[in-house]
Amino acid sequence: MNESELKEVKKDLPTNIEQLDVRMRNIEKIAQTIENVTENGLASANEYLKNKAEQEKLDLELADRQHKRSIWVLGSVVIAVFTLLMTSMLLKQFELVKIILGSALAVGGGAGITSLFKRKR
């Protein structure tokens, strides 16, 4: 390198340093932005997973309550039909017993057939 080139490089050195400084600040801003996006993304993912777990827990509790309710209703119906049958038999109303049994079997069969076609999630 000769002296003229050296003088030219020294003259351009402050502008090159300023440009380098601006680029470094831009890189730092980008790095900070990426860090913030990552933190927010992880926080959102954690929040989503918490909400999903809570919703699944609530769904299980609801299914459990519905199952218990259906068991109580089914038990009540069976007890009611049994009581009607025993009362009819004690009163020697055998035609009424046939009607009660036929109706109970028809209703039970209809309910059973429809539940076969319904799929649970």
Point out the least confidently predicted range of 16-20, 49-53, 67-71, 97-101.
16-20
* pLDDT at site 117: 63
Residue 62 pLDDT class (50, 70, 90 cuts): very high
User: pLDDT digit string (tens) for 19-45?
Assistant: 888 889 999 999 999 999 988 988 898
Is the pTM higher than 0.75? The answer reads no
Residue 74 pLDDT level (bands cut at 50, 70, 90): confident
Give domain limits for the chain.
Answer: 3-117
Q: Return d(Cα 82, Cα 74) in angstroms, integer.
A: 12
Cα 59 to the center of its chain, rounded Å: 8
